[in-house]
Amino acid sequence: MKQLTLKNKSLANIHNAVYNIPTSNQKINRGKFKLLDLILKKIKEWEADREAIFQEFGKKDDEGNYIPNGNDKYTFDNKDTKEINRQLDELLEEEATIVYGEYANRIKDIMDYLENYEGQIDGQTGQGLYELLEAYDANIEEEK
């Protein structure tokens, strides 16, 4: 199956890395933005899971509304902080599977482009591209 398996903690960096790489033509650009759309869906799923953790532990007032804490939407009991952090860390380590089967040709175009990209990149972008290309290569190997 045509898919990428990435850690939740890497999704935003990979998204930003791909977004910031200039493309050379419309064919590559279409593949780039299809890939970005697929990654963004997983980021939104991660955000919803993260929000659910906050809602589980957030304090509510007598009317059932969450009690804000400064810039945060939630206030937590100190006793819950350790469990919240444990669950958030676990969520970051979870794998996100991006299925791209019907877009395989578009994704191959952008992956080939990224693999051969010769422009200058910073360390964070390089790390994001590395993780993405490793996941892509791993899937290609699995399919053999």
Task: Using pLDDT thresholds of 50, 70 and 90, give the confidence band for residue 26.
Answer: very high
Report pLDDT digits (tens) over 109-135.
Answer: 999 999 999 999 999 999 999 999 999
Alpha-carbon gap, residue 115 to 109, rounded angstroms: 10
- Bridge partners (DSSP) of residue 95 are 7
Question: What's the mean pLDDT in 41-47?
Answer: 98
User: What H or E segment, with its residue span, contains residue 15?
Assistant: helix 8-20
**pLDDT (0 to 100) of residue 69:** 85
Question: What's the mean pLDDT in 69-82?
Answer: 87
Say whether pLDDT at 31 is over 80.
yes
- Mean pLDDT score of the chain: 94
Tell the burial category of 52 from Cβ atoms under 10 Å away from its Cβ (0-12, 13-18, 19+). Answer: exposed
